Amino acid sequence: MPEAGSTSSGPAGRKSFGSRLGAAMASRGPLCVGIDPHPALLKEWGLADDAAGLRRFSMTVLEAVSSLAAAVKPQVALYERHGSAGMAVLEEVLVAAAQAQVLTIADAKRGDIGSTMAAYADAWLRDGSSLAADSVTLSPYLGFESLRPALDLAADNGRGVFVLALTSNPEGASVQHVGGADSVARRIVEAAAAENGRYAGSLGSVGLVVGATVGSALTDLHLDLPSVRGPILAPGLGAQGATPADLRRTFGAAYPQVLGTSSRDILAAGPGTQGLRNAALRTLVGLIGE
């Protein structure tokens, strides 16, 4: 593990992911746009549910929002369902996002143990991998320490991770809320806070995924998100019911760490780039306003 306070720059002198994301949030605002090529959305856009439709959809979204969003979040499963052709499109999206200078969060939710976890880390976080993103989402439910290969490779390469901590889906409570004051979610939050001790600056590179619609669960479970000193990816803006005002109420003192995430609410404004841009801008103004 790098020394405490290390910026953990990558092999080419890349700054830590937390430093880069913090700078992007400060200059552009705290918006993440999901790139989710659902079959229904492809149909609404007049696109075929195939690799060509994926490519057109993804590149249109990227063109529209790359100058507004601090990050974009391609939903890996919606590319994976098209097999190797879909994954090839995802590789193109990651390259195009890097060229557009917008950070990427590969929403893959990977989690496993030992050499298998190391292989996932190698795919999403190794320099030179065709799937390398700036960060990747991870599932810690085989134990937080099972994520060690990804945590260390991300630090070594100036990349980041977002660990599922408190999700909005009703089923999540059956695992994440267990333990009450010493809940599973609280242990994940505390482990992420400890992991961010290796990073200097205001924002570490180990983020958390906390749903925008979790309501009072943060206080009910006594989760200290400001202590994490990492970014909080908060999906659920717009179509899932949360507003920017809800995010302020829910996250309180941790709101400066929050990366508000909207997918369907923005994507429904396509297929024109101007409609997508306008929808993203409205969401962004809400996040930075008041």
Q: Residue 140 pLDDT > 50, yes or no?
A: yes
Q: What are the φ and ψ backbone dihedral angles of 198, each rounded to 5 degrees? A: -80, -10
Q: Residue 7 pLDDT > 70, yes or no?
A: no
In the annotation, is 109 catalytic? yes
Mean pLDDT of the chain: 93
Evaluate whether residue 12 is within a structural domain.
no
How far is Cα 133 from Cα 274, in angstroms, rounded to an integer?
A: 26
Q: Residue 199 pLDDT > 70, yes or no?
A: yes
Q: Where are the alpha helices (DSSP H) in 70-227?
A: 76-80, 83-99, 114-125, 148-157, 173-176, 184-195, 217-220
How far is Cα 280 from Cα 32, in angstroms, rounded to an integer?
A: 9
pLDDT for position 6? 44
Do residues 195 and 151 lie in contact, with contact meaning Cβ atoms separated by under 8 Å?
A: yes
Average pLDDT estimate for 224-233: 97
Task: List, for residues 63-118, the tens digit of each pLDDT value.
Answer: 999 999 999 999 999 999 999 999 999 999 999 999 999 999 999 999 999 999 99
Evaluate whether residue 38 is within a structural domain.
yes
How far is Cα 139 from Cα 146, in angstroms, rounded to an integer?
A: 10
Count of other CB atoms within 10 angstroms of residue 115: 9
| pLDDT interval class at 12 (50, 70, 90) | low
Evaluate whether residue 240 is within a structural domain.
yes
Which SS3 state, helix, strand or coil, does residue 88 take?
helix
pLDDT for position 14? 87
Which SS3 state, helix, strand or coil, does residue 243 take?
coil
Q: Is 110 exposed, middle or buried (CB count within 10 Å of its CB: 0-12, 13-18, 19+)?
A: buried
Return the DSSP state at 272.
S
Q: Residue 3 pLDDT > 60, yes or no?
A: no
Evaluate whether residue 3 is within a structural domain.
no
**Residue 238: closest CA among 208, 210, 218, 268:** 268
Average pLDDT estimate for 21-42: 97
Residues whose CB falls within 8 Å of the CB of residue 227, separated by 6 or more in sequence, listed in order: 189, 193
| pLDDT interval class at 238 (50, 70, 90) | confident
How far is Cα 264 from Cα 34, in angstroms, rounded to an integer?
A: 8
Evaluate whether residue 196 is within a structural domain.
yes
How far is Cα 6 from Cα 9, in angstroms, rounded to an integer?
A: 8
Give the residues across from 106 on adjacent strands: 136
Evaluate whether residue 224 is within a structural domain.
yes
pLDDT for position 8? 45
Average pLDDT estimate for 182-195: 96
Evaluate whether residue 124 is within a structural domain.
yes
Number of domains the chain is built from:
1
| pLDDT interval class at 9 (50, 70, 90) | low
Higher pLDDT: 11 or 120? It is 120
| pLDDT interval class at 2 (50, 70, 90) | very low
pLDDT for position 5? 44
Please confirm whether the linkage preceding 226 is cis (ω < 30° from 0).
no
pLDDT for position 10? 57
| pLDDT interval class at 180 (50, 70, 90) | confident
CATH of the domain at 223: 3.20.20.70
Q: Residue 45 pLDDT > 70, yes or no?
A: yes
Evaluate whether residue 9 is within a structural domain.
no
How far is Cα 150 from Cα 78, in angstroms, rounded to an integer?
A: 23
Residues of the domain holding 76:
17-288
